[in-house]
Amino acid sequence: MKSIVDYSHEFLLPVLHKGAVCVDGTLGNGHDTKFFLEQGVRKVHGYEIQEDVFNKTVEQLSSKRFIGHCKSHEFIDEIEEIVDAIIFNFGYCPGKEESITTKGNTSLLAVQKAFSLLKKKGRMALVFYPHEEGKIEAKIIMEWLFTLSGIDMIKIEMLQKDCPYFVGIEKK
């Protein structure tokens, strides 16, 4: 069976082309950025707050099409171009310190700013994880999303208890 991250990647595929600009709002180990680069997109911006994780991932990526930002994703509005695809995998970096997680207030700000960068027909994938901070984060972000008009939204989740889930947004 596919993972939730696989579903999020499938959702983003239709907007990925050789001229696409993408954002990985939660760089971590770089799996989403690698996915974007493998699709042949023009540029990928990646945000990571943990300097050691950032440095290791940047070293592994070694692509001229990748622009790394060692800072919180709440500064995503520093990108001065329209974006085709954005992904956030909220939570903590797998294999790293689990107490360092994304937080509801900064993640909401990042999603709001990311949405304003998204082009018409652009897509954003949000992957939420069911740890304590993740539940708060998902609630805050979902409440905001339900106030928006001009979007189509899909949710995919496994039926087991405490599994991650994915929300896909397309800007109309």
> pLDDT (tens digit, 0 to 9) for every residue of the chain, 172 residues total?
899 999 999 999 999 999 999 999 999 889 999 999 999 999 999 999 888 889 999 999 989 999 999 999 999 999 999 999 999 988 754 555 666 566 667 889 999 999 999 999 999 999 998 877 888 889 999 999 999 999 999 999 988 888 899 999 999 9
Which is nearest to 79 in space by CA: 110, 35, 38, 41? 110
- How many angstroms separate the CA atoms of 152 and 77, rounded? 22
Give CA–CA dist 37/31, Å, rounded.
Answer: 10
Distant-in-sequence, close-in-space partners of 18: CB < 8 Å, separation ≥ 6: 40, 41, 42
SS3 65: coil
- 159 token code pair: 């039926």
**pTM for this prediction:** 0.93
pLDDT at res. 163: 87
How many whole angstroms from its chain centre is CA 69?
14
| Range 12-36 burial, b when 16+ CB lie within 10 A, else e | beebbeeebbbbbbbbbbbebbbbb
pLDDT of residue 99: 61
Alpha helix positions (H), the chain: 4-12, 31-38, 51-61, 104-117, 132-145
Query: Which residues pair with residue 47 across a beta bridge?
Result: 69
The pLDDT value given to residue 153 = 97
